[in-house]
Amino acid sequence: MTDASATVVDPESDVARFLFTGHLKKNRIVRPNAFMPPEDDLRLSVCVRDGLDTPAVYDWGNAHAARRDIERDVTEVPRGFAVLHVKDVVSENLTVERDDVPPRHAEIGNWKPEKEARLETAKQLVALVAELQVKLQP
């Protein structure tokens, strides 16, 4: 459900989707699951990238997008991020709305509930990635 205070992100803006280990193949190939929302929560979190250089995007991701498994006491910081032009996202009949919780946080919404439709859209978003940054691992 969209927060009533969320605002539509300018189509000329860019957003960054943070990538974790399972989202990447051979360090440089983005898998469609990086852009696939789960069936019980059809929203995809992103960061509005405008005005942030690469280190600043990583800092945002480390602070706000890190994945924490409390039970196993494991924290995984993003391995990288993929940048999308908002106008490209919107061309897929998706919405990009910013709630700034935390600041710069936005969500890609309006996904179709059918899994095959979400899969197709996710694959299209992979093809539309405008910039890919990945920390190389040994």
Partner 1 sequence: MTACLMPPGDVGLLADEKSSGVGPDAVRILEKQRDIARQYLTAPYTSATLRSSIEAVLNVVSEAGSPNWDAAGARAVSSQAVERAIRLLRHVPATIPVPDVFADADGDVVLDWSRSPRCTFTVTVSARGELYYAGLFGTNRMRGKETVFVDEVPEAVRSGLRRVFED
Closest distance between partner 1 and the C-beta of residue 25, in Å?
A: 5
Cβ distance to partner 1 smaller for residue 1 or 74: 74
DSSP 9: P
How many other CB atoms sit within 10 Å of the CB of residue 114? 10
Q: Which residues are near partner 1 by CB under 8 A? A: 20, 22, 25, 29-33, 36-39, 67-69, 71-72, 74-76, 114-117, 119-120, 123-124, 126-127, 129
Cβ distance to partner 1 smaller for residue 82 or 96: 82
Closest distance between partner 1 and the C-beta of residue 108, in Å?
A: 15
Closest distance between partner 1 and the C-beta of residue 15, in Å?
A: 18
Name the token pair of 94: 């998706």
HSE of 27, CA atoms in CB hemisphere, 13 A: 5
Closest distance between partner 1 and the C-beta of residue 6, in Å?
A: 21
From CA 102, how far away is CA 74, in angstroms rounded?
22
Cβ distance to partner 1 smaller for residue 24 or 57: 24
**Which amino acid, 58?**
Y
From CA 82, how far away is CA 76, in angstroms rounded?
17
